[in-house]
Structure 1
Amino acid sequence: MTAGGFVKRVASERAGAWEAAGLSWLRVPGGAPVVGVESVSPDQLVLQRLSPISPSVAQVESFGRQLAATHATGASGFGVGPDGWTRDGLQGPADDLIPLPLGPYDSWGAMYADLRVEPLARQAGLLGAAEGLLGRLRGGEFDETVAAPARLHGDLWAGNVVWTAAGGVLIDPAAHGGHPESDLGALTLFGAPHLERLLASYIEVAGVADGWRERLPLMQLHLVLLHAVLFGGGYVGQAASILRRYA
């Protein structure tokens, strides 16, 4: 530990720079709080030290409204990374990172098909099962559910929100422009404290397109496929089930 900060070891200079860029991009006025970056070096990040607590309902509701503000800040396109980031990003656990393809798209469906579903489905041995969904995505079937690219955390499972006395704080992003329901899907994938209150407070501010709950498995597919690639096991079957559902 240095200067009271938390030292996070990173696999490469690129990994540390990617995480720092995402945290900076997500730090917007009125948005969800983001862990502070004290320094970046080739093998480590020094981050603001956080003191976790069990959140109150009021804190969770406040976070839902703040997340809506983060999303509303937007991005220049679907699939783009943080401002100034020109390479692909990274995704997965710190000790087993794989590329997160990035690139500007006007269509969420085409981006999700090209940069999220197809590459991971291929690596997981599920490309054949993905063909039906890929066609639907590239045909624009789901595009009417999103008006503009949201500024996403990109890996918003419950472990990447640290609850403190000041509220929920975002850590460890895979930040990019995408469908706001993707972050909501990640929150519901493994559960979160007072989840329904969090979702309700988000929706009060941002709204959601009709049928959003039925789309949650679609929005979770990216992370489920990522887990299938990295960990195998039951995640492969879970990903295959989602792919069949949307074939």
Structure 2
Amino acid sequence: MSLPRTAPPRSVPRKPVTSTGFHAPAGRPATELVAVARLSPCDAAVPVVRAQAVATLTAWSVDSQAVEVAELVVSELVTNSVRASRPRDEFVAVRLSTTSGCVLVEVWSRPDTTLPTAQHPDGDSESGRGLCLVEALTDRWGSYRATSGGIVVWAQFPGAVVPVQRLHDEQPLPARTARPVPEPRVAPARAPGLPDITFSTDPAVLARTAERLRALDAWHHHPVPC
């Protein structure tokens, strides 16, 4: 489904194509593969950020099939966000991240419109298939309202980082031997009146928790170095 687009007034020209490219946010660990890009909310910026997403994931050594899926997902989600943007909106933000063998694509846009839902148009319809394609290609997708304003649409799908093959003449790095950790001498005290801590493994609970934690992260407002 494509979000409704508000046509700009004739007296207000669309913004030129600009994109900062994908950059790792400041303060992130070097081992965590996360990159954010911001682009002008115009149709011509879509192929630019799509190509940059492919280049970024390829540089991370993400497997080629996942890169192809990411290319389509980024294109559909960014297109929807651009079409929902208004002439006065400054930018659309895209974040790529890899974790636990999965790739996560998130797209933020300013308009606080209705959260998008996937439609299933008939064969004669000329539009409305964007989120259906995202739904078919990914394991999970969804949307939420950011606490700082705007809407984030996200999609997650398998995408393992392929280890770099070592040349035959390269010597393997020495491996560390794990040392035993001593048992604590005193058992940790539990605050009176509080129940024992248990961790939930319910997928529905974990999904809701992850979505609410993401809503608290204003990653789209973090400064991006040029």
User: What's the TM-score once normalised by structure 2's chain length?
Assistant: 0.27
Higher helix proportion: 1
User: What's the TM-score once normalised by structure 1's chain length?
Assistant: 0.26
Which is greater in Rg? 2
